[in-house]
Structure 1
């Protein structure tokens, strides 16, 4: 089914507030009528009371009072309509931004694998703000200007039909100029928005990896790359401004002067034949001058409107990405935790499988460890279990139920995960454990921290459990962050616990604390461990050794050591004992020493 156009979708958001908009437009019509009544009153004063003989001063004062009242009413009306329209525009953008943020939660992780984070941030922050300018400019300028022009032409026809018909040539002429302006400036505006998105992505990446940039002395190269993007945006911005300068105020002002001169010539010619009304002449010139004000206003906002349409296309392009609905699963049944992979094959890119015919079963209360070199497929198995990706072949079941038939929220509700690089949110210690889950009380937070051995260091902090944590928890050591992430997983009491190399960046003393805690918390639940330190999985019920996406060995520690295969060689190397020289001997198709350090995306570990 084809997606609706950008214009229709923007109108759809505006129609939510149609009664506010209609009310504001009625107020606007009243304000424009009050404004345009002024020159007509002046014409009446000139022709009836000031031309040739002394008029009735009481009538003059009455008309002046009416003029002032109309000005006051127009001021109040303009303020009211502007406030209503502008606040409505802000509400519309608030809705668009929330819809975009909600949809991002539904998009599969595959999209984020191929899209720089900075570009996504740019869509939510910069592009929605540009769309806001569209509604603000459209409601505050285009609509207002249209109503003003309509009122001005009504007044012109009341004064002189022939000259009003001549002035009707102006709107088509300015529309043609606007069309030419839009045609040539759209290309430059699209490039400008794309470069801004690229710059945001690069800034985000540079800040994230600043230690690497400085360590490898890439400051100059990074600056050069940024300067290329920045300069390209600057060049296109200059070209767009050149078009704007040629086709906006300058051309409107020139045409306005020529038309005004023609009107003066027309009235001058008429005065040679008949006596003309000076009041009509004054009023016509006044109204004619007012025609060009809304035209200039439209031209001034034309660039913002065009930029906003380009941004709206990008925002709706994200909204058009298929996503899974976020469901409420408060009453979801807690599974036993029996996990089964049945002949699962998976590829991030078509034709390049990272998992091949994976089959294993993890029963409730068992600990299953996955080991293997970088790129062997360990993390891909976890990604499939968590529902981040869908297998190409085979099935994954929990308690005999295919996870493909479960919503993502139901699937993950009773899962806990601890990553190698733990992420802490800006907040405090207790928030980072409970994540505002109402079922996790402060006592449960303290108990979870106690179970993983984190309570002693937390209680020594100045704020204790209320100690502020900045984003990513950079004020804490890696071991402390890891312990807090363990406490977070345990506080949610998962039926299935996933540890993704969770002890890889922890010192030996902290590792001992975690090992003791794991023996307690893994009791009664299924635990899957991606292990880098093989010493941490000696007690696992089953160890799966992966190589190039396949399970090449399986068994417990003692069984695998007796095999003296890949696991045995890896274990001997980590212990520091001399392993057989062929431990890392390349396979015939492995490409030499690349076996030990395969170049694979981090996601496929």
Structure 2
């Protein structure tokens, strides 16, 4: 399978977001409003500085108090009235042009009035406040507006952040379910060749990393990107010359990011690969811990795990070195250099009057707001890169071919006539394990498959259950080729009991009904009665509600097997498969199961795979396999009379049993 590329991964990640486009659009609209509220602050501060704080240094018209127009704002000082130029309309300014123009200049912490009538006068604090009297209320209102906009922006940012995070959680929930659904579509062959821990790592860890990608992308990349655009828009509005200089920051930062991604990608991929290998090894070790301890291989396993762990550590350390060099430090270094250049060049222009001090202040404020979102992007860049690698792994698992799981499949119950016609099969195409297998099993018959390990017994049942497809030949049920059936239709009326029964976390009832809501407690109890499990279940403290831990480790092997028998039979299968089902059961329990099977096989086609030949003596037909061929077939008596391979196997087991009894 072709590994999905970055473009494909990005497109698919965006596709999942588009499933919730309404919520995303609403959140982005709220984000834009919040951003506008935030960016308005420096501009309002610019108005306060230029139009009010520094306005005292504008031109003042000095005239006698009795000649000051009543309709115009003016400040009375001693015997004179002072009118600031910006308080006058054009026609009013023309009417007062005969009066002298004076100025107020700041010297240190005080202000100096250059009066035409009184000469230079140093104003006291209260006198200075008088000249600011008409500015106090607008300044307070503007400060209140800044605070109000800050509160509005904070509330809106909370809302948009909550909405975007909710979308991220929903998207990852959808991805995780899509992956989990595809696991049920995938053929058994995939799980034969893939370590369990790697699959678990992709479904659990990698999808969690994708969640971090969406959360970082939506909360950092999108928000920061819009903030950067908004800041540059504000810069252009204030002074296009300074804005053009600041635009040089974008290609510099983009180049730093590109270099970071280029050099760190391979280390991120190696880190994820080592983590998957460690998870696979950990899963395997936990399952076979008794074997490792018996053979004293703990130290060797620890050393192997340490090698994987050390390799991951080395790659992680290199990745952090790259991040430390090209991340926050680089942003601050470039940002401080640019800020110094702006202050040196345009600051001198402010002093010379080329630009107002308020514009300069707002510009520096906006410039500082560029660095924060860029630093946020850099801080999340490593997480995003790690998440993209995880997304590739998840989509690779999601793209594994499989067959759709049909819902609500309820085909008519088959008669149970099974026929293999010239079936050849191999797990590897050039290494067949079954060769020209042909036999029939009629309704109600019991067919036993015997042979040495590797002869192909379980492979026949795997083909019948549709876990694999034959390389050649046909498998028919009631005359219909199973190749034309969906797997759910095929298995709807089949039951199976494996050599190593698996019980799920839950209780006894759940392990028999197995997600079947239509199966009532009476059906469960009946199945347990039929297989002879009711006695031990009734002695449990909570009966059918007795908790069962994972794999049923609190129950004996025989009890687990009886429950698995009840599970198979509760679904009333037309075809029953017993794969070494009595190999791990004591003689007393086996006799209970054998009595139950006498009743249960009536009306069902039963296949038994057995090594203990004493358990299949009453089978209607016994097929003896050797190296993928059926070398003998017949009843127990017929095969014993033939004195062939079956006869020798039975005699060998009988002699071993006799030796065991004598001992």
TM-score by length of 1: 0.94
CA deviations over 1:119-155 (Å, ceiling 9, x no partner): 0001100111111111111110011011111111111
Alignment of 1:492-507 (within 5 A): 492-507=571-586
- From 527, 532, 542, give the equivalent of 2:621: 542
1:275, distance to aligned residue in structure 2 (A):
6.0
How far apart, CA to CA, are the structure 2 residues paired with 1:272 and 1:182?
43
Match of 1:33 in 2: 36
Deviation at 1:430, TM superposition (A): 1.1
Equivalent of 1:555 in 634, 647, 656: 634
**Which of 360, 365, 377 is residue 298 of structure 1 equivalent to?**
377
Query: Do 1:572 and 1:578's aligned partners in 2 also have CA atoms closer than 8 Å?
Result: no
Distance 1:244 1:115 in 2: 33
Matched with 1:16 is 19
Task: Name the structure 1 match of 2:432.
Answer: 353
- Distance in 1 (CA, whole Å) between partners of 2:354 and 2:8 is 57
Partner of residue 437, structure 1 = 516
What's the offset of the Cα at 1:272? 5.9
Question: Which of 290, 294, 302 does residue 215 from structure 1 map onto?
Answer: 294
Give the drift of 1:276.
4.3
2:198, 2:649 → 1: CA distance?
A: 41
Aligned partner of 1:408 in structure 2 is: 487
Task: Specify the alignment match of 1:600 in structure 2.
Answer: none
Q: Deviations over 1:9-46 (max 9, x none)?
A: 11111111111111111111111111011111111111
Indicate the SS of the match to 2:432: strand
| Structure 2 residue ranges without an equivalent (≥5) | 57-131, 659-663
Q: What residue is the counterpart of 2:85 in the other structure?
A: none
**Maintained 8 Å contact 1:189/1:236:** yes
5+ long unaligned stretches in structure 1: 580-605
Q: Does 2:199 correspond to 1:120?
A: yes
Distance in 1, matches of 2:618 and 2:519, equals 30
- Secondary structure of the 2:427 match is strand
Corresponding residue to 2:184 among 93, 99, 105? 105
Name the CA distance, whole Å, in 2 between partners of 1:148 and 1:577: 82
* Displacement after TM superposition at 1:576 (Å): 1.4
- Quick one: distance in 1 between partners of 2:508 and 2:29? 54
- Alpha-carbon offset, residue 439 of structure 1: 3.2
- For the 8 Å contact 1:345–1:393, the answer to whether it is kept is yes
Q: Give the TM-score taking structure 2 as reference length.
A: 0.86
Residues 418 and 272 of structure 1: CA distance in aligned 2, closer, same or farther (over 3 Å): closer
Alpha-carbon contact 2:410-2:492 (below 8 Å) kept: no
Aligned to 2:45: 42
Choose the corresponding residue for 2:141, options 53, 57, 62: 62
Whole-angstrom CA distance in 1 between matches of 2:351 and 2:210: 55
Is the 1:373–1:547 Cα contact (8 Å) retained in structure 2? yes
Paired residues for 1:135-534 under 5 Å: 135-271=214-350, 273-274=352-353, 276-534=355-613
| Aligned twin of 1:597 | none
CA drift at 1:267: 2.6
For residue 361 of structure 1, give the secondary structure of its aligned residue in structure 2: strand
User: Following TM superposition, by how much is the alpha carbon of 1:495 offset from its aligned partner in structure 2, in angstroms?
Assistant: 0.1
1:228-251 CA-partner distances (Å, limit 9, x unpaired): 111111000000000000001101
Deviations along 1:203-253, one digit per CA (max 9) or x if unpaired, are 000001111111111100110111111111100000000000000110110
* 2:347/2:360 contact within 8 Å kept: no
Distance 1:566 1:291 in 2: 84
What's 2:162 paired with? 83
Contact 1:199 1:229 in 2 (8 A): yes
- Secondary structure in structure 2 of the residue aligned to 1:51: helix
Q: Deviations over 1:345-372 (max 9, x none)?
A: 0000121000011011000000000000
- Aligned partners of 2:511 and 2:563 also within 8 Å: yes
Cα shift readout 1:455-497 (whole Å, capped 9, x = no counterpart): 1111011111111111110000000000111111111100000
Deviates more, 1:238-247 or 1:447-456: 447-456
The RMSD of aligned alpha carbons is 1.4
SS at match of 1:323: coil
After TM superposition, give the deviation of residue 447 of structure 1 in Å. Answer: 1.4
CA deviation vs aligned residue, 1:400-444 (integer Å, no higher than 9, x gap): 000000000000000000001000111111111111313322112
Q: Classify 1:577/1:49 alpha carbon distance in 2 versus 1 (closer, same or farther; 3 Å).
A: closer
Work out the CA distance in 1 between the residues paired with 2:489 and 2:164. Answer: 42
Query: Match of 2:400, SS?
Result: coil
Q: Note if contact 1:41-1:63 (Cα within 8 Å) is conserved in structure 2.
A: yes
SS at structure 2 position matched to 1:331: coil
Contact 2:350 2:357 in 1 (8 A): no
Q: 2:35·2:227 contact (CA, 8 Å) conserved in 1? A: yes
Q: Per-residue CA shift, 1:133-189, capped at 9, x if unaligned?
A: 111111100110111111111111122111110001111110011000000000000
SS, match of residue 576 in structure 1: helix
For 2:127, the equivalent position in structure 1 comes to none
Would you say how many aligned residue pairs link Structure 1 and Structure 2? Answer: 579
Contact in 1 for aligned 2:410/2:489 (Cα 8 Å)? no
Q: What CA deviation, in whole Å up to 9, does each residue of 1:92-114 have, x standing for no partner?
A: 11101111100110000111110
| Counterpart-to-counterpart distance in 1, 2:523 and 2:363 | 80
1:565 alignment partner, one of 630, 637, 644: 644
